[in-house]
Structure 1
Amino acid sequence: MKDFTSILAEAIGLIFAGDADLIEIIALSLKVTLSAVVIACLIGLPLGAAVGAFRFPGRTLVTILLNSLMGLPPVVVGLVVYLALSNAGPLGPLQLLYTPTAMVIAQTILVTPIVAALTRQVIEDLDTEYSEQFRSLGVGPLERMKALLWDARYSLLTVALAGFGRAVAEVGAVIIVGGNINHVTRVMTTTIALETSKGNLELALALGVVLLVIAVMVNAAVMGLRASAVRSAYA
């Protein structure tokens, strides 16, 4: 049996050689994840901003619900989406099960509450800071929300990156609705699980290294955006 050093060397070799299967899997992973994050932001940012900026009956309940949904079990989300997209489900005629679209749907459901809840916290804190100024200027509700979103843009980019980090590492939901079909729905996390069980440790480790690099890049981007936000605040 190969030792760790030789497996790691072969894994690095696959990465630098631009292995076709490796590139295909990485490309699909990024496509699915970015699609899910964009959709989640389109839903979660305005939803979180509205809950954070406005006062309305049931707001506390909505806040509790958003915070609770941040911890949605991925396998439960995968099961619900599977049932909805299966032939017996309401969306069965669309034939989306075991497609990248199904994986995007599952990841969107997982990421949207995270984006919405974090956005709500950012906007609520900012609204508290600016509330007296808004009242003195007679700023309307929509104008206030636009101003808050613009002023919080760096923090909200951090929120989006946090959603990306959550989505790109997802395995439970996507393997249920995607099926891990070769050249169709194989993404990094599901392939790592499959190839490890098959003993193909070189490909699994190569994908693990790429996933780790992406995680480091996302965290570096988050830190960079936070630093930019601090500098802009004191500019």
Structure 2
Amino acid sequence: MNDFTQAIQLAATLIGRFDPELRGIIALSLGVSLTASALAFIIGSPLGLALAIGRFPGRQALIVTANALLGLPPVVVGLGVYLLLSRSGPLGSLGILFTPAAMILAQAILGIPIVVALVHRMTVDLWATYGEALLVDGASHIRAAASLMNIGREGLVVAFLAAFGRAIAEVGAILIVGGNIRGYTRTMTTAIALETSKGELSLALALGIILIALSMTVSAFSHMFGRTLRH
């Protein structure tokens, strides 16, 4: 019990003085996850929109696939990206394995299905409500799509936040492709796993507290924008 109390006190001290190592890990985590979430959003939102308003062969199969990929195991994604970026892989010449770029790629792949699924679900309802009216008014499909995105901007924010929530909490994939290198690819989740395995609970607790606070903030914003969207 004394060890646990001491670990909590040390964790509070680390947070209170914003320890340099703690600060570096948090900055890297946020940088990687925000970049990955932005990439997932840029790629996933047009795909979700196309699946909602487009009519083309194989559309239903793509919708099913996008929803099935929501449960994609992170370690499998990590393994796939590792093989892709390894020296013998097709992108090995880039030399980005065990770098933040590889971690961003892995997190973006995990976030894309989330964005596609959420944007598709939102846009299907909006298209059913406003799509015909927009086309009758003379808008092209591209302009109609832009109008739908403007109407559903709160839903787009929810999709981005959901991708960010998945990215910031990820450990398996980025551990494989990032290597958990101190000061370079060590994020909050990988640091928590490492420090816990070493029995060094103070830094792990400090990072865990901050990670929970971030997750709660993301959930609160998602709930707020979700309620706005429903109303």
Would the TM-score normalized by the shorter structure come out above 0.5?
yes
> Deviation digits for residues 95-138 of structure 1, max 9, x if unmatched?
11100000000001100111011111110111011233234323
Does the alignment pair 1:184 with 2:184? yes
2:16 corresponding residue in structure 1 = 16
* Helix, strand or coil at the partner of 1:87: coil
Taking the aligned partners of 2:139 and 2:227, their CA distance within structure 1 comes to: 29
2:210 corresponding residue in structure 1 = 210
Taking the aligned partners of 1:149 and 1:172, their CA distance within structure 2 comes to: 33
1:163 corresponding residue in structure 2 = 163
Taking the aligned partners of 1:187 and 1:156, their CA distance within structure 2 comes to: 26
Taking the aligned partners of 2:168 and 2:162, their CA distance within structure 1 comes to: 10
* Helix, strand or coil at the partner of 2:87: coil
1:74 corresponding residue in structure 2 = 74
* Helix, strand or coil at the partner of 1:70: helix
Work out the number of aligned pairs and report it: 231
Deviation at 1:225, TM superposition (A): 2.0
1:199 corresponding residue in structure 2 = 199
Q: CA RMSD in A?
A: 1.3
Q: Which amino acid is the alignment partner of residue 34 of structure 1?
A: L
Taking the aligned partners of 2:110 and 2:47, their CA distance within structure 1 comes to: 15
Taking the aligned partners of 2:209 and 2:155, their CA distance within structure 1 comes to: 28
Kept in 1, the 8 Å contact 2:86–2:92? The answer is yes
Larger CA deviation: 208-217 vs 48-57: 48-57
Taking the aligned partners of 1:225 and 1:68, their CA distance within structure 2 comes to: 25
Percent identity between the aligned chains? 49
What 5-or-longer segments of structure 1 have no aligned partner? none
Taking the aligned partners of 2:131 and 2:103, their CA distance within structure 1 comes to: 41
1:11-50 aligned within 5 A: 11-50=11-50
Kept in 1, the 8 Å contact 2:135–2:144? The answer is no
Task: State TM-score, norm by structure 2.
Answer: 0.96
Deviation at 1:57, TM superposition (A): 1.5
